[in-house]
Amino acid sequence: MTQKLVVIGAGMASGRVLEHLFEANAGYDVTLFNAEARGNYNRIMLSPVLSGEKTYDEIVTHDADWYEANGVTCRFGEHVTAIDREAKTVTGQNGTVAYDKLLIATGSAPFIIPVQGKDLPGVITYRDLDDTNAMIDAAAKGGKAVVIGGGLLGLEAAAGLAERGMEVTVLHLMGHLMERQLDESAGFLLRRDLQNKGVRIICQASTVAILGETHVEGVMLEDNTGLEADLVVMAVGIRPETRLATDAGLEVARGIEVNAQMQTSDLDIYAVGECVEFDGHLFGLVAPLYDQAKVVADSLVDEPNAFVVKELATKLKVTGCDLFSAGDFADGDGREDIVFRDPARGVYRRLVIDDDVLIGAVMYGDTADSNWFFGLIKDKTDISDMRDTLIFGPAYQGGTPLDPLAAVAALPRDAEICGCNGICKRQIEDAIAAGATDLGAVRATTKASGSCGTCTGLVEQVLAVTLGDDFVMPAAQSICACTDMTHEDVRRMIKSRALKSMPAVWQECGWKTSCGCHVCRPALNFYLLADWPLDYADDPQSRFINERKHANIQKDGTFSVVPRMWGGITTPDELRAIADAADKYAVPTVKVTGGQRIDLLGVQSEDLPHIWADLNAAGMVSGHAYSKGLRTVKTCVGTDHCRFGTQDSTGLGIKLEKTLWGSWTPHKLKLAVSGCPRNCAEATCKDIGVVCVDSGYQVSIGGAAGMDVKETELLVQVATEDEVIAVIKAVTQLYRENAKYLDRIYKWMAKVGLEWIKEQIDNPQTRQALVDRFELSQSIYRKDPWAEHAADKSESYQPLANLALEAAE
Amino acid sequence: MTNWIDIAALDDIPQRGARVVKTSDGCVAVFRTADDEVFALNNACPHKAGPLAEGIVHGKSVTCPLHNWVISLETGQAQGEDDGQVTTYPARIENRRILLDRSFLRAQAAA
Ligand code: SRM
Ligand SMILES: Cc1cc2nc3c(=O)[nH]c(=O)nc-3n(C[C@H](O)[C@H](O)[C@H](O)COP(=O)(O)OP(=O)(O)OC[C@H]3O[C@@H](n4cnc5c(N)ncnc54)[C@H](O)[C@@H]3O)c2cc1C
Ligand code: SF4
Ligand code: FES
């Protein structure tokens, strides 16, 4: 006898159950209820419908013919109102039907935050086709949309609405987007890409009210920010649709409780999809629902099967925002993190390993290898053999040496190659196909690599990958002849593979020389000490003589000595000590420098520790006039004396110099603080300049007045000295962590973009983390090398032996 | 005939470093490599007399601190495009002591 199966809800899960059931010729007589006035369709494709990439017809999964062919009685547009378990009947708005087996597949309902104005016309959720159409209609009128919720749904809604021309703002309660799927770094990149699409994003935004009389007009935040809105989309979460089950007396926790056969507490009633709770788990993605559907179908035909919870992966369906997240990526004891970042390309990868097994992965920008990583997570593969190269993906496994071409070949077509001009791999490939077969031609037709040029290597690699043997790759711009790797490659290796010593870098990066050369060693020494301040011991033998001997070498082999004069302020006592030292060590030249201090030129190497000891005794320390590090902070007289001064520029300069001194940077770092926009301290041609104004301080960066003359660009304006100091520490640390050795700030800025730097500094958490890392490093390096060398290393400044006496005998 | 004289302990020079020995006719730079070999050369670059002892030592070469000429420690020859040569002197290690040949002093004196 055919049994009667009643199904409540024609969604993604029940659609799959029915397919399996009919394939198995189970002989059920099916009645299918759906509250929506239509049958099963691919709900996840609503986002492409919203953005206009697909139509509804294209996403229907089961049409009228299919239901008819399988004898399904369709009761679409009819809400089920009650289940009577005694009588074994289901009652819909249009009448009652009896069941032998019942399947509840009611999905979930969007969560609506209980604020004033939530019921106003123009406030919608994002769940079904009706919502999608409502958004499309609203967007046709243009105007402003506010999307509450920066999760998967909210962001897809926001991107779709922006695509349709609305001015969109996303409000997100947490500190970064999609916080359950992404860590902060990936969240940041996602935010940046969405902002580039014109979507405004406000994090830590708590909505307190939706405003409007007859229709929504705006949204009010907790901090009293008001935002105008013609449309509000609420996408703050979902909650399993359990009302029918609760009313019917089934066991319901957060969702309808089921066993591994998907049976509810009433064994004739099954439940499937987002409405269920299994073993404490709720479900919000289709992959597990499909597994459940198979189990339900098997259970209905008495095939043994059991549902198990598996790892899940998330992707976002917004073009140009390639992200992937899977598994568990929270920090934890014994867990190991491998991180790979390329800020210039916006690529971020993070792997979390526990006990030689990959348990989580977050990827942004380049997700080409995501399936491979997901496989490793699901299969719990032992990764110990490939740990070192794991982060680079499958192309690097199996003993193949690092081949940058494989990585480029694996880049998706819309991966951005040239950041300055926004050129992606696709455009370059297309240009090549259209006949541009060398770098010059690609540059001429696409502009790729035509600006700052940092992507030249990548463009060449795309040429090599696309043209194969027809393209002769020019030698990559490696650091030096010791390696084929670029500065950027090596910095990435140092971070991602936690290389903490020079030999580790040489070994792991395949250095071709035994111990580097005068070009790569100083760069490596800097990268290592900047990335691992606590673990790496500075190597004086890898420093240029000026930094090794803390003095500038002169053309005759003597040295110059420049003590600090904090902020350009000195005292009669200091001047006397300098004069005495000049006399005592027969210093041939005493000069006032361009950095507001005094240079003693022509000191013999042997005398250095002694002259330093004398200067130390008078309270003076090394001015680091020789370093790739903090040089001076020039100041003007400011409010202390000047009739135009707006703030204490001298005092701030001294504070800055006292907090930054001793720090090593990719190139020299010069600062100045001017007391007003007349700018007497020339702050706007320094690496970092501060111009005081009535309302506070303008901090600008990227100036220079050497081989290139550059005016600084405004980074941020702040109100207090403390903020100035925090911002400057943060931007200095960002520069230390990311720039190529011997790039001044302006060169680095041309590569990564002022916008990117701004975003880091504007984000309070990121800024604080940078400050903390800077301070950590300064706990080691904020000290006077002169005092140390005078005390412990004086001997090394003397000749090894003096045979002149002997020879004279 | 060689006449070795004890100059200093090997460890008085750091690996990949150098110190000078003063003579009546200028300085000799004594280099120690990463593999604990020692070399002695005139402390004056063939380019503009830069003090080679202040250079960066790599492999069996030193880079002059003034204009980055690279000089072979074994031959005293400038490497690559650059042309020039520095005088080299015999040097060796015995019981972790650095020994130089006294005759180099005479050579120096005669030069
Ligand atoms: C002493 C001083 C000249 C003076 O008598 O005033 C000076 C002297 C040297 N400068 Fe300078 N610079 C001095 C202020 C400047 C300034 C002006 C300023 O800082 O306000 C500039 C232009 C501003 C700028 O840096 O953007 C300046 C731009 C340079 C450059 C070009 C840098 C660039 O990025 O283009 C170099 C070359 C380099 O660093 O690679 C340089 C390099 C040098 C070196 C270190 C050359 C060397 O490697 O031997 C000189 C060392 C002389 C010595 O033996 O002590 N010096 N130099 C100044 C020391 C300032 C201080 O107190 O620390
Ligand atoms: C815009 C959007 C994008 C998404 N993108 C993705 C994605 O990229 N990847 C992914 O894995 N998941 C995605 N999801 C989630 C995925 O769509 C859901 O997990 C899936 O649809 C849940 O299936 P279900 O069958 O449990 O519920 P649903 O598909 O929601 O079906 C439930 C049906 O039951 C009906 N119903 C409810 N109560 C009653 C009642 N009392 N009487 C009659 N009918 C009733 C409802 O009207 C509904 O049609 C997305 C969801 C949305 C809304
Ligand atoms: S910058 Fe302003 S405060 Fe400083 S000296 Fe010039 S005028 Fe005075
Ligand atoms: S003096 Fe040695 S390179 Fe110029």
Angle between helix A152-163 and helix A184-196 axes, rounded to 10 deg:
20
**How many CA atoms within 13 Å lie on the side-chain side of A506?**
14
Whether the CB of B55 is below 8 Å from some CB of chain A: the reply is: yes
Q: Note whether A213 and A87 are within 8 A (CB).
A: no
Q: How far, in Å, is the centroid of ligand 2 from the Cα of A14?
A: 10
Q: Tell me how far apart the alpha carbons of residues A393 and A724 are, in angstroms, rounded to a whole number.
A: 41
Q: Among candidates A653, A476, A723, which has minimal Cα distance to A661?
A: A653
**Sign of the CA dihedral A772, A777, A779, A783?**
negative
* A chain contacts of residue B55, beta-carbon cutoff 8 Å: 518, 545
The number of beta carbons lying within 10 Å of the beta carbon of residue A471 is 18
Q: How far, in Å, is the centroid of ligand 3 from the Cα of A684?
A: 14
Lateral strand order in the sheet of A688-693: A630-635, A669-674, A688-693, A696-701, A713-718
Average pLDDT, chain B: 89
Q: Alpha carbon of A65 to those of A19, A39, A57: distances in Å?
A: 14, 11, 14
Q: Tell me how far apart the alpha carbons of residues A797 and A612 are, in angstroms, rounded to a whole number.
A: 12
pLDDT (0 to 100) of residue B111? 45
Q: Which of B21, B66, B109 sits opposite A799 (nearest CB)?
A: B21
pLDDT (0 to 100) of residue A450? 54
Q: Tell me how far apart the alpha carbons of residues A561 and A577 are, in angstroms, rounded to a whole number.
A: 13
Angle between helix A754-762 and helix A721-738 axes, rounded to 10 deg:
130
> Which numbered atom of ligand 4 lies nearest the CA of B50?
1
Structure tokens at A273: 């999809």
> Given its phi and psi angles, is residue A130 left (phi above 0), alpha (psi -120 to 50 degrees) or beta?
alpha
Biggest alpha carbon distance in chain A? 125
Bridge partners (DSSP) listed for residue B94: B97
Q: Is A47 in the pocket of ligand 2 (CB under 6 A)?
A: yes
Query: Best residue in A480, A482, A511, A518 to probe B by mutation, most B CBs within 10 Å?
Result: A518
Q: Tell me how far apart the alpha carbons of residues A655 and A785 are, in angstroms, rounded to a whole number.
A: 20
Q: How far, in Å, is the centroid of ligand 1 from the Cα of A224?
A: 50
Please judge whether A541 and B16 are an interchain contact, meaning their C-beta atoms are less than 8 angstroms apart: yes
| DSSP H helices in A220-275 | 243-247
pLDDT (0 to 100) of residue B110? 47
pLDDT (0 to 100) of residue A644? 92
Torsion of CA A207, A209, A210, A213, to 10 degrees: -170
pLDDT (0 to 100) of residue A476? 55
Burial A264-282 (b: 16+ CB within 10 A, else e): bebeebbbbbbbbbbeeeb
Q: Which of B12, B21, B58 sits opposite A515 (nearest CB)?
A: B58
Please judge whether A804 and B8 are an interchain contact, meaning their C-beta atoms are less than 8 angstroms apart: no
Query: What SS3 class is residue A305?
Result: coil
Distance from CA of A518 to the nearest CA of B (A): 6
Residues 6+ apart with CB under 8 A from A788: none
Residues 6+ apart with CB under 8 A from A809: none
Q: Read off the pLDDT of each residue in B26-46 and give the average, rounded to a whole number.
A: 93
Q: Is B66 in the pocket of ligand 4 (CB under 6 A)?
A: yes
pTM of the complete model beyond 0.80: no
pLDDT (0 to 100) of residue A1? 62
Q: How far, in Å, is the centroid of ligand 2 from the Cα of A11?
A: 6
Q: Alpha carbon of B99 to those of B15, B59, B88: distances in Å?
A: 17, 21, 14
Q: Which residues of chain A have pLDDT under 50?
A: 399-402, 420, 451-453, 807-809
pLDDT (0 to 100) of residue A808? 41
pLDDT (0 to 100) of residue B81? 78
* A chain contacts of residue B57, beta-carbon cutoff 8 Å: 541
> Which numbered atom of ligand 3 lies nearest the CA of A645?
3
Q: Note whether A757 and A749 are within 8 A (CB).
A: yes
Query: What SS3 class is residue B78?
Result: strand
**One-letter amino acid for residue A149 of the chain:** G
* B chain contacts of residue A807, beta-carbon cutoff 8 Å: 23-25, 105, 108-109
How big is chain A by its Cα radius of gyration, in Å?
33
Q: Among candidates A86, A71, A82, A81, which has minimal Cα distance to A5?
A: A71
* A chain contacts of residue B38, beta-carbon cutoff 8 Å: none
Question: CA B85, B90, B95: angle at the middle one, nearest 5?
Answer: 140
Whether the CB of B3 is below 8 Å from some CB of chain A: the reply is: no
pLDDT (0 to 100) of residue A398? 53
pLDDT tens sequence across B42-93: 999 999 999 999 999 998 999 999 999 999 999 999 998 788 999 999 999 9
Q: Note whether A171 and A146 are within 8 A (CB).
A: yes
Lateral strand order in the sheet of A357-364: A313-315, A323-327, A357-364, A347-354, A335-342
Q: Is B31 in the pocket of ligand 4 (CB under 6 A)?
A: no
Q: Is A141 in the pocket of ligand 1 (CB under 6 A)?
A: no
pLDDT (0 to 100) of residue A419? 56
**One-letter amino acid for residue A209 of the chain:** A
Query: What SS3 class is residue A772?
Result: helix
pLDDT (0 to 100) of residue A322? 86
> Which numbered atom of ligand 4 lies nearest the CA of B64?
2
pLDDT (0 to 100) of residue A72? 96
Query: What SS3 class is residue A35?
Result: coil
Q: Among candidates A658, A748, A659, which has minimal Cα distance to A701?
A: A748
pLDDT tens sequence across A738-791: 999 999 999 999 888 899 899 999 999 999 999 999 999 999 999 999 999 999
Query: What SS3 class is residue A617?
Result: helix
pLDDT (0 to 100) of residue A236? 93
| ipTM (interface pTM) | 0.70
Q: How many residues does chain A have?
A: 809
Nearest CA to ligand 1 atom 2: A593
pLDDT (0 to 100) of residue A349? 85
pLDDT (0 to 100) of residue A452? 43
What DSSP string runs through A120-156?
Answer: STTEEE-SSHHHHHHHHHHHHT--EEEEE--SHHHHH
pLDDT (0 to 100) of residue A21? 95
Q: Tell me how far apart the alpha carbons of residues A294 and A763 are, in angstroms, rounded to a whole number.
A: 46
Q: Tell me how far apart the alpha carbons of residues A305 and A288 are, in angstroms, rounded to a whole number.
A: 14
